[in-house]
Structure 1
């Protein structure tokens, strides 16, 4: 236990230094349109190359940052950096995550207005993603904040839909432009029929409410074709590209050839079996 405490304390100090010295980085994962196969946008994902431990997963250092009270500052840095980088691909939308901590401890409206002016960006190019955990906070406050964000011109997305305290009332009480289906459901489609049914139902529900549907974690052709067949609007995952540093993303955009995911009429072969649409 003492070693764990010392490790967390060491990482916290190094993280403070990394934030101060601009040593954090963003990678971007392309988001692909199902109908045309074109790159429609990218999602900004935080990365940190620790001087001792090497590439450290966000799942390891984000909890430490939260306990140390660093998440508001890191969240603002991520937004600012994404806005700066976005000028290198003006044709694409950029998705950025907002954490529950930012909703609790940050005046998000003021911060976003200041960033818009500072970076001279068009808010309509940005999709601000929140998880269901945010919706457990004060409903009135969250609703007002989300409304203000959309009034500024930002688009909003409900991330990891179905993995938390999902409730259909969220879709009624809060206005979202996009629903993102979590990888855990998609990866089970070739093994569990109920996962396929859930995914198809979420897509149908979201489209019926006028929302875009993004499938996360697409890793196989089977998954890509199935999501296109269900009516999903966009996809992202290693099947198309891993998250890339800025320079590699620019190279990717120059050489990428769109591959429309036309829903096939014949049954699609899946690993371990097959599923007809």
Structure 2
């Protein structure tokens, strides 16, 4: 079941704060299995509204003895729409602890550019809806190249979400994206299978045709 289906149900049931903490704790536990990798975890607007996020993160860092610099906390525009002093304070505290941050699903909201001016992020993640249309809509290429230029000019890494074809991978690399993510490279795996897969995984060249990849490595689920 994709997050788009179960997250609204969990939110209506009041379960998101507990699920969010469980995901963070599980991510920090699993991170010890592959110390060379970066771990991305989504944060929900509910966690900003109803959870002492700063205290929870500090407690989990100490409990699991992890380096916060290995983690990227992904934040959607839903959090920034409530751009109160509380949100600014939490984001500053997260960065002060050593975590990096990413603006997820960039381009799906109406005021994205203002967020880049008002908030400091380490990464921008270009939404899949742009990637999937680059072969059909000429203006999409211009928009993506502009976003990449803007983000790189602000010192941010640019992640292209939802890469599913060699063409998309090749084009986003040429546009200057620093990271690519999607089913073209790998699909979601349970932790146990991912550990085994990493032992033989070789990074795919964005211009390489599919063929040699036998198993996926990771997807864009709740835990990134």
Instruction: State TM-score, norm by structure 1.
Output: 0.73
Residue 252 of structure 1, CA deviation: 2.2
Tell me what 2:43 maps to: 98
Note if contact 1:180-1:213 (Cα within 8 Å) is conserved in structure 2.
yes
In the TM superposition, what whole-angstrom CA distance separates every residue of 1:48-83 from its partner, at most 9, and x where no partner exists? xxxxxxxx3322221111111110000000000010
SS class of match (1:87): helix
1:206 matched to 2:151:
yes
Tell me what 1:160 maps to: 105
Note if contact 1:215-1:227 (Cα within 8 Å) is conserved in structure 2.
yes
Tell me what 2:195 maps to: 250
SS class of match (2:199): helix
In the TM superposition, what whole-angstrom CA distance separates every residue of 1:230-257 from its partner, at most 9, and x where no partner exists? 1100011110001111122122212222
For residues 166 and 214 of structure 1, the distance between their equivalents in structure 2, rounded to whole angstroms, comes to 19
Note if contact 1:132-1:165 (Cα within 8 Å) is conserved in structure 2.
no
Tell me what 1:259 maps to: 204
Tell me what 1:129 maps to: 74
For residues 104 and 165 of structure 1, the distance between their equivalents in structure 2, rounded to whole angstroms, comes to 22
Runs of 4+ residues over 6 Å off in structure 1? none
For residues 78 and 240 of structure 1, the distance between their equivalents in structure 2, rounded to whole angstroms, comes to 23
Note if contact 2:164-2:182 (Cα within 8 Å) is conserved in structure 1.
yes
Structure scoring higher RCO (CA < 8 A, sep ≥ 6) equals: 1
1:138 matched to 2:83:
yes
More strand by share: 1
For residues 254 and 89 of structure 1, the distance between their equivalents in structure 2, rounded to whole angstroms, comes to 10
Tell me what 2:213 maps to: none
For residues 254 and 243 of structure 1, the distance between their equivalents in structure 2, rounded to whole angstroms, comes to 16
In the TM superposition, what whole-angstrom CA distance separates every residue of 1:34-55 from its partner, at most 9, and x where no partner exists? xxxxxxxxxxxxxxxxxxxxxx
Distance verdict in 2 for CA 1:165–1:141, change over 3 Å: farther
Bigger radius of gyration = 1
For residues 225 and 85 of structure 1, the distance between their equivalents in structure 2, rounded to whole angstroms, comes to 31
Correspondence for 2:120 among 175, 180, 185:
175
For residues 204 and 75 of structure 1, the distance between their equivalents in structure 2, rounded to whole angstroms, comes to 33
Task: Tell me the matched-pair count.
Answer: 208
Residue 167 of structure 1, CA deviation: 3.0
Map 1:1-277 → 2, pairs under 5 A: 56-261=1-206
Note if contact 1:133-1:165 (Cα within 8 Å) is conserved in structure 2.
no
For residues 79 and 155 of structure 1, the distance between their equivalents in structure 2, rounded to whole angstroms, comes to 14
- What's the Cα RMSD here? 1.4
Tell me what 1:39 maps to: none
SS class of match (2:125): strand
For residues 165 and 108 of structure 1, the distance between their equivalents in structure 2, rounded to whole angstroms, comes to 27
Which structure 2 segments of 5+ residues have no match? Answer: 208-224
Instruction: State TM-score, norm by structure 2.
Output: 0.89
Note if contact 2:77-2:112 (Cα within 8 Å) is conserved in structure 1.
no
